[in-house]
Amino acid sequence: MRSAFLWLLDKEWRELLVSRAWWVLLLGMGPLAGASFIGAVSVYGEVSGLNGTSAGVGEALSPLVGVWAPTFSACELAAVFLLPFVAIRVVAGDRQSGALKLELQRGMSPFARIAAKAAILLAGWMVAMLPPLSAILLWRSYGGSIYPPELATLTLGHVLNAGLTIALAAAMASLTEHPSTAAILTLSFTIGTWIVSFFAAVQGGWWERAAGYTPAAMVAQFQHGLVRLDTVLIAPILTLTGLGFAAIWMRLGAAVSRRVYESTGLVLVAAAAIFVCTFCAVSWDTSESRSNSFPESDERALQQIKAPLLIVAHLAQEDPRRFDLEHHALSKLRRVMPKLKVQYVSATSIGLFEQTNPYYGEIWYYLGGRKTMSRVTTAEGVLEAIYSLAGVAPPPENDEAIFRGHPLAVAPTGAGAIFYGIWPCLIVAGGFFVRWRLK
Amino acid sequence: MLFEVNGLCKRFGRIAALSDVSFQVRAGEVLGLIGPNGAGKSTLFECLGGVLPSDSGTMRSGGRPVGTRERPSLLFYVPDGIAPWPAQSVRWALDFTLGFFGGRPALRDEVIDQLDLRQLLGQPLGTLSKGQRKRALLAIGLLTPQPALLIDEPFEGLDLRQARDIAAALRAHAARGRTLFLSIHQIGDAARFCDRFVLLSGGRVCGEGTVQELATLAEVREGSRTYDDLEEVFLALT
């Protein structure tokens, strides 16, 4: 005999199957992923030497950056513009139709109710991810190289992102009377995170720290094969907070004041948990090219340096050299030396009128009571400065450890037929079949 | 007595939808909640059903207070004017009621025949007419296991023949011990069908009892005039 929860799961699945929003998501994912994959493979092939371009340019080409990040970007688009409507339909539909008034009379934890909806929505999202996941098989059929850890990381990132979207949409759908209001609030929240990222680029400081945890920034980390423990912990906390919020506000029979108190308590607990997680500095580089890390020999050498390192960079927030320094050197350095402190000094945000200042552009390194200065922002330059300060001999270059890349000079044969033809036909056929089956 | 309600109040801003509502529901009876439009009948049922929070008031059963969490084991409320699971079939809705709410499978075929739903089993709930949907909702309510069934406007949307058939079906279930608490705004329908009545007007209980008891109450309040039917009693007391 089925439990009430299994009956609820069955009901939520049936409601998803009749959701037009979900079928639109499925229909759209094929061409979205297909266009991204075909474009990425075409460019990758040309850079690899296809159609007479210089051979050898394709060395150090990584499928993660060249093919998978663009292909799976379809998931990011769908998560922002299509998935919220699916979630809102599933959560708000019961309230609109009056079914919620019946279902609430079955004694059951509100968290169990929302968990059933979330589980089905996540399953629905996994179905929607079939086009980009099938691109992996297609790439394999072309003879392309596949490195499972980086693909698993990429997939995890998009699943976590979908969880965040589902939780946000569910919370808004439970809080508001009408689905359209929920949709507006959900999209407003998303735009709000983009604004945070914009302020982070301009202002830096706490804005930059906060922007690191926006969905777009989280997805970007995973797209480069980087798994950060703080992100992996914070994303589920945010998801559970959103779902908890939805569960609280789904209880129509509870007084509004009580729901407000419970929501406030939930937000405070979540904020405390997130604050603790921000101190988890552990991360893993799952990319085959080790694009997030220094060569292993350099990492071993850096780990021998126990004294705290302070770097003071006289570079403005929007100076491209600061971006280079952060992206190519300091982000990798922080992973190896958790005690690293970095300070940026500038009077302006653009640095344009600070060029005449003799200190502008200097990068000072302080280690064990000694200091040195450099203006080089490359990884090699930063390492050279640190080694000279620490009195450590740089490790010899290891040719075998250098990532040579996986050039593949092929055209995306058959991809158009699959993503633009077969997938949409399958979805339409599936829709008719489900309609017939549910009668 | 199955349960009693004491001092139930509910405000929507400045509007007092329910004020100090108290009454008793006896086991196995058909109790009618009657009142004009806007009297607070649906609000009362939603508060009792636990889908609308009340501002104050208590429910007691067997001498013990019944909290909001215990109410689902005591009563089931069938709202008016809803179209639950509109894309799902009537057949599925009944199966869901039996499985999710722990309903009574032995009654399934009987309820389908009593409410003339056999032809509609394969149709999505959202495509049914108002009267057909009402019958489907009644079937859902009759299949639930709770001892008390609250139904908001059970005859709304039904023609005369259907209303009489529904009334007979409800009577049959009441005869087997199910307590029915029905919100009815047509006094004539209520008078034909219910054993006792709670008169609600302006959010207040104006009277509770059988037609005889209410008539006596009206005579006391209004003077020596005698009252023959529920309509006159209702007009006198509200």
- Give the residue from B71, B82, B51 showing the smallest Cα distance to A107: B71
Residues on chain B touching A262 (C-beta within 8 angstroms): none
Pairwise CB contact (< 8 Å): A101 & B99:
no
Whole-angstrom distance, CA of residue B221 vs CA of residue A69: 82
> What is the Cα–Cα distance from A294 to A296, expressed in whole angstroms?
6
Q: How confident is residue A349, by pLDDT bands cut at 50, 70 and 90?
A: confident
Helices A83-97 and A179-203, axial angle in degrees (round to 10): 150
Q: Are residues A127 and A268 in the same domain?
A: yes
d(CA B144, CA A395): 76
Residue A400 domain flag: no
Q: What is the tens place of the pLDDT at every residue in A143-155?
A: 999 999 999 999 9
The predicted pLDDT at position B124 comes to 94
CATH of B1-74+146-210, one of 3.40.50.300, 3.40.50.720, 3.10.300.10, 3.40.190.10: 3.40.50.300
Residues A321 and A257 in one domain: no
Cα distance from A95 to chain B (closest Cα, Å)?
9
In a domain, A168, yes or no: yes
Q: Alpha-carbon distance B8 to B57, whole Å? A: 4
Do both A348 and A238 map to the same domain? no
Q: How far is A18 from chain B (nearest CA, A)?
A: 7
Q: A75 phi and psi, to 5 degrees? A: -65, -40
Flag whether A102 is in a domain: yes
DSSP state of B26: -
| Residue range A79-93: mean pLDDT, rounded | 95
- Predicted confidence at residue A267, as pLDDT, reads 96
Q: Report in angstroms the alpha-carbon separations of A186 from A24, A193, A237, B141.
A: 19, 11, 18, 36
Q: Answer whether residue A55 shows pLDDT above 70.
A: no
Q: Check: CB of residue A225 under 8 Å from CB of residue A287.
A: yes
* Residue A431: inside a domain: yes
Query: In chain A, pLDDT over 70 holds for what percent of residues?
Result: 96
A200 contacts A208 by C-beta, under 8 angstroms: yes
Q: What is the dihedral of CA A285, A291, A297, A300, to 10 degrees?
A: -40
- Starting at the edge strand that comes first in sequence, how are the strands of the sheet with B148-152 ordered? B75-78, B148-152, B179-184, B30-34, B196-201, B204-209
| CA torsion, ordered A199, A205, A207, A208, to nearest 10 deg | 90
Q: Which of B8, B44, B51, B94 would best serve as a mutation to test chain A binding (most A beta carbons within 10 A)?
A: B51
Contact between A97 and B51 using a beta-carbon 8 Å cutoff:
no
Give me chain A's average pLDDT, please.
Answer: 90
Question: What are the start-end ranges of the H helices in A278-422?
Answer: 296-303, 320-324, 331-336, 379-390, 415-416
Average pLDDT over residues A259-285: 94
Residue A258: per-residue pLDDT? 94
What's the pLDDT score for residue B123? 93
List chain B domain ranges: 1-74+146-210, 84-145
Which pTM does this prediction carry? 0.91
Residues 6+ apart with CB under 8 A from A177: none
Q: In chain B, which residues have their Cβ closer than 8 Å to the Cβ of A253?
A: 49-53, 68
Other C-beta atoms within 10 Å of A61: how many?
20
Instruction: From chain B, pick out residues whose CB is under 8 angstroms from the CB of A100.
Output: 51
State whether A311 and A367 are in the same domain. yes
CATH of the domain at A381: 3.40.30.10
Asked whether residue A299 is domain-assigned, the answer is: no
Tokens representing B156 are 């709304």
Q: Is residue A359 scored above 90 in pLDDT?
A: no
- Please give the average per-residue pLDDT across A271-296, as a whole number: 91
For chain B, residues with pLDDT lower than 70 are 224-225
For the CA atoms of B210, B215, B221, B224, the dihedral, rounded to the nearest 10 degrees, stands at -160
| Residue at A360 is within a domain | yes
- pLDDT for res A51: 59
- Rounded mean pLDDT, A318-325: 87
Q: Is residue A413 part of a domain?
A: yes
Q: Is residue A242 part of a domain?
A: yes
Contacts of residue A310, defined as CB under 8 A and 6 or more positions apart, other chains included, come to A340, A341, A342, A343, A365, A366, A367
User: pLDDT for A39-52, tens place per residue?
Assistant: 999 999 888 876 55
List pLDDT tens digits, range A218-246: 999 999 999 999 999 999 999 999 999 99
- DSSP state at residue A65: I
Q: Are residues A36 and A162 in the same domain?
A: yes
Do residues A21 and A119 share a domain? yes
Q: Do B87 and A438 touch (CB under 8 A)?
A: yes
User: Residue A348 is part of which domain span?
Assistant: 305-391
Percent of the residues in chain A that have a pLDDT greater than 90, as a whole number: 66
Q: Are residues A374 and A227 in the same domain?
A: no
Judging contacts by C-beta atoms under 8 Å, the chain B residues touching residue A255 are 53
The answer to whether residues A418 and A352 belong to one domain is no
Q: Do B92 and A98 touch (CB under 8 A)?
A: no
Contact criterion met (CB below 8 Å) for A400 and A11: no
Q: Are A227 and A283 in contact (CB under 8 A)?
A: yes
**Pair (A71, A135) in one structural domain:** yes
* pLDDT reported for residue A50: 64
Distance CA A379, CA B172 (A): 85
- What letters, b where the CB count within 10 A reaches 16 and e where it falls short, cover A98-131? bbbbbbbbbebebbebbbbbbebbeebbeebbeb
Q: Is residue A422 scored above 60 in pLDDT? A: yes
- Condensed to tens digits (0 to 9), the pLDDT of residues A59-70 reads 558 899 999 999
Give me the mean pLDDT over the A281-294 stretch: 91
Say yes or no to pLDDT of A1 above 80: no
Reply yes or no on whether the pLDDT at A347 is more than 80: no
Domain count, chain A: 2
Higher pLDDT, A319 or B95: B95
Return the pLDDT at A58. 46
DSSP state of A159: H
CB A87 within 8 A of CB A166: yes
**Are residues A276 and A178 located together in one domain of the fold?**
yes
Q: How far apart are CA A170 and CA A165, in angstroms?
A: 8
* Strand ranges of the sheet holding B56-61, from the earlier edge strand across to the other edge: B15-25, B3-12, B56-61, B64-65
Nearest to A252 among B51, B84, B87 (CB): B51
For residues A95 and A146, membership in a common domain is answered with yes
Chain B residues whose C-beta sits inside 8 Å of any chain A C-beta: 46, 49-53, 68-69, 72-73, 76-79, 81-89, 92, 96, 99-102, 122, 124, 140
**Average pLDDT of the segment spanning A130-151:** 94
Greatest Cα-to-Cα distance within chain A, rounded to the nearest angstrom: 80
Report, as an integer, the average pLDDT of A365-372: 90
**Same structural domain, A281 and A382:** no
Q: Is B226 left (phi over 0), alpha (psi -120 to 50) or beta?
A: beta
Biggest CA–CA distance in chain B, Å, is 58
What is the C-alpha separation between A102 and B138, in angstroms, rounded? 12
